[in-house]
């Protein structure tokens, strides 16, 4: 009985770890492939956050240089189990918000935002889930023609 | 009761074993020379290095710009002289992995996928040599290269392979190889841009070359912990510093403005009205073209 339990447990753990890795890649790949016909994948940010103790700034931060004369698409995808929806804002080097996928006035959330960049520089990408909820998802950055 | 305790012990043991699996001996064996002394690695936090690496390492941005500008494809820009079998040190292998990655991005962007098989074979050989071949999905990339209809999947798998290699190297105390790979990607992208601009002068492209000043400091920061590691690193740091010196008097100025947003096809389109302006003379650009060519051509020499 004990031996059977151990074998089952080992099988479940091994299968669980392997399938988690594959599921993550497949989820990211799907998000990237659904970015649009003219969008070419550039990079992705994989985000997993618990529920925030307080709601203030968006919690996941990454720096990215964006280049003038380039149109970027920022696509946002959540996994099914996420409590909140993935949102993004981008700040420039003066800490000014230049882009937000979440309209605070209307509450509307966009699943993608196109950004026509005219100022090359370092930008801060900030991701979180709505209302600081728990969730996991991916932010894909693509180049758009 | 005993069975439950034993079961619990096994669960805890397996969880800890899996958490550290990437560091386990026996799974991969790395040459001792790859280990970075703690004092060197501590100069930059892992988060800072990851941030810089993720920001710089994109083998397709310059290629995309060339494609958008409708610059004709040329095989002459590629580092075809690199022989994967003649790379004797990990320094050379990691650097060439980056250079070839940028070439692969260029080939993919122009959909010259049948020509990319040689580059792919070299990448696989070098990746396997430095024990990161498991992250390079050669068969999928080859399959997608033959099937020209799926460029986005090809870009995703190629870039994702490089990202995984970079993450793996950094998290296994082989950050110096990650830095070399990133420098290789950057220098080849810079070479492509400078070679093209010398043949097809274009303001957008010359601006992009001038704007590299923005990330040059980060590039130097990434490699700085290893500059005294050996002669090859010292030489590379000196070369990068020489490139930086060529950028010293190039100015980037900014104009102010508020972004304009409109809804389109269910998404939001934001157009930035702030602009950056590059002030770079013809002589300064020529200086950058010259130094980039010299350094890159020295780097692709086989040992």
What pLDDT was estimated at residue B148? 67
If we measure between CA atoms, which residue out of B239, B237, B238 comes closest to residue B226? Answer: B237
**Residue A103: which CATH number?**
2.60.120.380
Q: Which residue range is the domain that position A20 belongs to?
A: 2-144
Q: Does B154 fall in a domain?
A: yes
Is B117 inside a domain boundary? Answer: yes
Among B82-96, B131-145, B212-226, whose mean pLDDT is lowest?
B131-145
Q: What is the pLDDT of residue A36?
A: 86
Query: Is position B287 within any domain?
Result: yes
Alpha-carbon separation of residue A109 from A138, B152, B256, B266 (angstroms): 15, 26, 27, 10
Distance of residue B152 Cα from the nearest chain A Cα, in angstroms: 6
B5-9, B244-248, B296-300: least confident range: B5-9
> Is B155–A40 a contact, with Cβ atoms under 8 angstroms apart?
yes
CB B213 within 8 A of CB B250: yes
Domain total of chain A = 1
* Whole-structure pTM value: 0.83
| B68 CB within 8 Å of a chain A CB | yes
Which residue on chain A is closest to B269 by alpha carbon?
A: A114
- At A17 the pLDDT is 43
> Any CB–CB contact under 8 A between B23 and chain A?
no
Q: Is B163 a member of any domain?
A: yes
- Residue A18 pLDDT grade (very low, low, confident, very high; cuts 50, 70, 90): very low
Task: Return the number of CB contacts < 8 Å for A and B.
Answer: 129
Q: For residue B44, what pLDDT is reported?
A: 65
pLDDT in tens, B233-242: 999 999 999 9
pLDDT at B114: 75
ipTM of the complex: 0.82
Structural domain total, chain B: 1
Residue B276 phi, psi dihedral angles, 5° rounding: -110, 140
Average pLDDT over residues B8-25: 42
Residue A33 sits at the chain B interface (C-beta within 8 Å): yes
B267 found inside a domain = no
Determine the structural domain holding residue B164 and report its residue range. 40-251+281-299
Structure tokens at B186: 């950057």
Q: Among B152, B214, B247, pick the best mutation site for testing chain A contact (most A Cβ within 10 A).
A: B152
Counting residues of chain A whose pLDDT is more than 70, the rounded percentage is 83
Task: Look at residue B224 and tell me if it is in a domain.
Answer: yes
Task: Look at residue B141 and tell me if it is in a domain.
Answer: yes
pLDDT band at residue A19 under the 50/70/90 scheme: very low
- Checking if the pLDDT of B38 tops 60, the result is no
Q: Would B6 be classed as within a structural domain?
A: no
CA distance B258 to A96: 10
């Amino acid at each position: 009985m004990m031996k059977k339990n151990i074998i089952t447990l080992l099988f479940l753990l091994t299968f669980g770890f392997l399938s988690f890795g594959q599921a993550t890649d497949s989820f990211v790949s799907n998000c990237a492939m659904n970015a649009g016909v003219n969008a070419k994948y550039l990079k992705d940010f994989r985000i997993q956050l618990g529920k925030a103790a307080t709601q203030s700034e968006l919690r996941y931060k990454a720096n990215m240089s964006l280049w003038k004369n380039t149109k970027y698409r920022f696509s946002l995808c959540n996994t099914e189990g996420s409590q909140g929806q993935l949102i993004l804002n981008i700040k420039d080097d003066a800490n000014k918000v230049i882009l937000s996928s979440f309209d605070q006035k209307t509450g509307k959330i966009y699943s993608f935002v196109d950004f026509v960049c005219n100022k090359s520089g370092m930008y801060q990408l900030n991701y979180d889930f709505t209302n600081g909820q728990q969730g996991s998802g991916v932010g894909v950055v693509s180049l758009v023609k | 009761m005993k069975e439950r305790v034993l079961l619990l012990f096994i669960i805890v043991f397996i969880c800890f074993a899996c958490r550290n699996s990437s560091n386990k001996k026996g799974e991969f064996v790395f040459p001792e020379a790859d280990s970075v002394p703690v004092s060197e690695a501590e100069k930059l936090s892992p988060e800072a290095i990851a941030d810089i690496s993720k920001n710089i390492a994109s083998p397709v941005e310059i290629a995309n710009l060339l494609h958008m500008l409708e610059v004709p494809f040329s095989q002459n820009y590629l580092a075809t002289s690199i022989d994967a079998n003649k790379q004797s040190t990990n320094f050379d292998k990691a650097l060439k992995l980056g250079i070839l990655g940028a070439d692969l991005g260029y080939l993919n962007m122009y959909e010259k996928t049948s020509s990319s098989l040689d580059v792919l074979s070299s990448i696989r050989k070098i990746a396997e040599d430095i024990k990161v071949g498991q992250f390079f999905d050669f068969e999928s990339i080859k399959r997608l290269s033959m099937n020209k209809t799926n460029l986005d999947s090809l870009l995703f798998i190629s870039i994702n392979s490089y990202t995984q290699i970079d993450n793996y190297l950094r998290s296994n105390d082989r950050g110096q190889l990650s830095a070399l790979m990133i420098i290789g990607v950057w220098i080849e992208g810079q070479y492509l841009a400078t070679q093209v601009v010398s043949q097809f002068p274009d303001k957008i492209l010359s601006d992009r070359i001038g704007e590299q000043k923005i990330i040059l400091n980060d590039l130097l920061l990434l490699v700085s912990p290893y500059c005294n590691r050996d002669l090859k690193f010292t030489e590379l740091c000196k070369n990068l510093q020489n490139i930086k010196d060529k950028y010293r008097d190039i100015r980037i100025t900014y104009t102010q403005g508020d972004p304009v947003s409109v809804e389109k096809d269910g998404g939001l389109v934001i157009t930035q009205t702030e602009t950056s302006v590059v002030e770079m003379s013809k002589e300064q650009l020529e200086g950058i073209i010259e130094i980039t060519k010299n350094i890159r051509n020295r780097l692709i020499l086989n040992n």
